[in-house]
Amino acid sequence: MSLNAKRLWGVTLLGLAGILAVYFVAGPARFWLNWVLWFVFLLTLALGSLFMVALEHLVSSRWSVPIRRIPERLSTLLLPLVPVGMIALGAVPVLYPGARPEALANKLLAGKAFWLGLPFFSLRVALCFLAWLLALSVLVRGSLRQDESRDPQFNVRARRFAPLAMVFFGLGITVVAFDWISGLEPEWYSDIFGIYLFAGAFLSALSGTLLMVLHLQGRGRLPEVRRDHLYNLGGFIFAFTVFWSYIGFAQYMLMWYADLPEEVVWYQKRTQGGWLAVVILMGLLHFVIPFFALLTRDAKQAGRRLHWVAWSMLAAHLLDLYWLIFPVLMPNPVLSWPELSFALFFLGGAFLWVHRVRELGADLPVGDAFLKQGLEFRL
């Protein structure tokens, strides 16, 4: 075991001790808020990465073939997230009012009782994971096998399966948005909330992929990946920064204009007191800073700038989820030892997994017949 792996294990175990203390000292509600936050954060990162893989096969992209192994590796986070998601179901009776017996007395919730109840909630979680794992097996496992077999038919099978994988992704990310986040306050509803979460998930996957590419290049790996490939990743981050901002503003503007009580109260919680400062910080990290940092052509190819922009986007996505989830029970932002303990446990565990899978298969999908075209990509 390397020194870095030992340190990560130490961080993870320290975090585990802390989160066990959170349940008994800070209470079950705060424990489950943090658990759901980190579960959704890592889940959206994994799903966004799987979306990148499926998108390449769907549109027969060539430029992205040399970097495809990176999102393939990141998408395998879905495997350890299965037990994390099963444990997260313990939050449903504690945090989700639609799953409680008294929900039947609420006129707005009574009609949704079957959907919001724990049995059907659990069934949706299980079905989503089954669909995602099927996509992972076909697209990622098949790609790894192609390294050895050099079978060109894999590309045909992957392209035929990609539309179904997109269906799995679209339905799944919508279920995550409405069940795990919107379900915390089921009286509130937004038609575009699933798209909003998709934008954040795709941005986090792009950022994670970019960071891993830069990390491997810093270790003398992936020398074939050039500034042209980095430019396209930077361009996608730039574009989806604008898209995320547009969707977020459109959602707020429509609800502000309609001025319906059940919609206004949701935003009222999240724009008062200390939460207003979180909104401002999120706007800076999620839009203003990356927008101007990547505005020029050269900026989208500068490794150092792309590095800190990618970290900024991951932090912004986590902050966004924090802003969506924590105001349910917290009138003001909280950041103390319970949150630090969960950060140590989940980040330590995630980095351990990435440390392990960064050796999964070759750094390039060497069995892909289109790799040569991808390596020859020029802007």
Q: What is the pLDDT of residues 49-95, one digit of tens each?
A: 999 999 999 999 999 999 999 999 999 999 999 999 999 999 999 99
Report pTM. Answer: 0.95
Q: What is the DSSP string of 3-47?
A: HHHHHHHHHHHHHHHHHHHHHHHT-HHHHHHHHHHHHHHHHHHHH
In a domain, 121, yes or no: yes
- Asked whether the beta carbons of 230 and 306 are under 8 A apart, the reply is yes
**pLDDT (0 to 100) of residue 171:** 95
CB neighbours of 308 closer than 8 A, spacing ≥ 6?
none
| pLDDT score of 107 more than 90 | no
Domain tally for the chain? 1
| pLDDT score of 301 more than 80 | yes
- Asked whether the beta carbons of 6 and 35 are under 8 A apart, the reply is no
Can you read off the two tokens belonging to residue 355?
């440390």
Residue of higher predicted confidence among 113 and 204 = 204
The stretch 148-173 carries a mean pLDDT of: 94
Residue at token pair 């799987």: 50
Question: pLDDT tens digits for 235-254?
Answer: 999 999 999 999 999 998 98
- Asked whether the beta carbons of 206 and 231 are under 8 A apart, the reply is no
| pLDDT score of 210 more than 70 | yes
In a domain, 253, yes or no: yes
**pLDDT (0 to 100) of residue 102:** 76
In a domain, 367, yes or no: no
**Residue 33: domain span:** 3-362
In a domain, 354, yes or no: yes
Question: pLDDT tens digits for 140-156?
Answer: 999 999 999 999 999 99
In a domain, 307, yes or no: yes
The stretch 208-230 carries a mean pLDDT of: 93
| Alpha-carbon gap, residue 35 to 49, rounded angstroms | 21
| Alpha-carbon gap, residue 364 to 67, rounded angstroms | 7
In a domain, 376, yes or no: no
In a domain, 374, yes or no: no
In a domain, 211, yes or no: yes
- Asked whether the beta carbons of 42 and 346 are under 8 A apart, the reply is yes
Residue of higher predicted confidence among 66 and 103 = 66
| pLDDT score of 2 more than 90 | no
**Mean pLDDT, the chain, integer:** 92
